[in-house]
């Protein structure tokens, strides 16, 4: 359970090799932290092994477990197994997802459907399993990495954007359902993040870093926010975009 300063003892990262997710774990780490569980497709990958070594250097017990976003039937059992090993979950970070290329999706509808399954269906299944645990224990935070791409879906990445729009709506509704339970949901809406997922892509205006997103998340958790933007100015940018006529929005050079 978190102490009076809001410092967690246990953190579960769904998407255990995510650059943003790992940055959040590092930012939330304190002398109070006892357990970190990295849930990823390949617990024996080089990335998972390196993260275990790094995070465990301060005496924290870190381990990686197998997690497949598309294997929805396994999600409830995974959460139960993690809880049996480390106890109550103080912070759970849902940071898995795929970006993909709209051009590729246009030519391969099956690949588009697979990406949506990871980004949305996997988040729904695992999110409900986590929420059940948090509701039962009466405390804990579930952090969803959404995206500004879901605020108003652009033609250049509408498959990815629509999956994030669905995730964002689900996360908000799940947060509403947990009000009064002692548990909460934080929805994080980053802009373009310079990470391994976007390597090789041209950075968009107001781009950010995993570490900067982690700072926003930590501040949001401390203040009890339900939604945060990274960087914060994007809240006002997309407030404008949301109300633009379609003909105008389509002509904007948004990539």
Q: Where are the domains of the chain?
A: 10-249
Per-position pLDDT tens, the chain of length 255: 565 567 999 999 999 999 999 999 999 999 999 999 999 999 999 999 999 999 998 889 999 999 999 999 999 999 999 999 999 999 999 999 999 999 999 999 999 999 999 999 999 999 999 999 999 999 999 999 999 988 888 888 999 999 999 999 999 999 999 999 999 999 999 988 987 777 766 677 778 899 999 999 999 999 999 999 999 888 888 777 777 777 776 777 665
CA-nearest of 63, 83, 96, 165 to 132 is: 83
Q: Is 98 exposed, middle or buried (0-12, 13-18, 19+ CB in 10 A)?
A: middle
Q: How many CA atoms lie within 13 A of 6 on its CB side?
A: 12
Residue 144 backbone dihedrals phi, psi, to 5 degrees: -105, 130
The CATH code belonging to domain 10-249 is 3.40.50.720
**Sheet of strand 35-40, all strands in order from the earlier edge strand to the far edge:** 61-66, 35-40, 10-14, 91-94, 140-145, 183-190, 227-230
CA-nearest of 203, 212, 211 to 233 is: 212
- Of 96, 105, 144, 160, which residue is the catalytic one? 160
Write the CA distances from 40 to 58, 74, 119, integer angstroms.
Answer: 22, 13, 14
Catalytic residue at 160? Answer: yes
Start-to-end C-alpha separation, the chain: 43
Please tell me the distance from the alpha carbon of residue 133 to that of residue 239, in angstroms, as a whole number. 34
Structure token digits, residue 199: 């390597």
Tokens 């590729």 appear where?
104
Please tell me the distance from the alpha carbon of residue 53 to that of residue 175, in angstroms, as a whole number. 33
CA 183 to chain CA centroid, Å, is 17
Structure token digits, residue 58: 């301060």
Answer whether the bond into residue 223 is a cis peptide, omega within 30°: no
Indicate the average pLDDT of the chain. 91
């Amino acid at each position: 359970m978190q102490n009076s300063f809001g410092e967690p003892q246990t953190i579960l990262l769904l998407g255990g090799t995510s650059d943003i997710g790992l940055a959040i774990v590092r930012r939330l780490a304190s002398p109070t932290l006892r357990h970190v569980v990295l849930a990823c497709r390949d617990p024996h990958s080089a990335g998972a092994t390196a993260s275990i070594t790094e995070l465990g250097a301060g005496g924290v017990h870190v381990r990686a477990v197998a997690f497949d976003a598309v294997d929805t039937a396994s999600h409830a059992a995974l959460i139960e197994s993690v809880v049996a090993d480390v106890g109550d979950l103080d912070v759970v970070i849902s940071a898995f997802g795929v970006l993909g290329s709209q051009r590729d999706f246009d030519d391969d509808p099956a690949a588009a459907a697979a990406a949506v399954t990871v980004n949305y269906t996997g988040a729904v299944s695992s999110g409900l399993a986590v929420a059940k645990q948090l509701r039962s224990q009466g405390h804990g935070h579930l952090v969803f990495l959404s995206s500004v791409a879901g605020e108003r879906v652009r033609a250049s990445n509408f498959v990815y954007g629509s999956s994030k729009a669905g995730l964002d709506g689900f996360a908000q509704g799940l947060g509403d359902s947990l009000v009064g339970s002692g548990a909460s949901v934080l929805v994080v809406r980053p802009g373009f993040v310079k990470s391994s997922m976007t390597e090789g892509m041209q950075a968009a205006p107001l781009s950010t870093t995993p570490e900067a997103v982690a700072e926003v998340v930590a501040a949001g958790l401390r203040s009890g926010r339900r939604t945060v933007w990274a960087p914060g100015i994007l809240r006002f940018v997309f407030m404008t975009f949301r109300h633009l006529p379609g003909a105008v929005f389509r002509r904007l050079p948004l990539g």
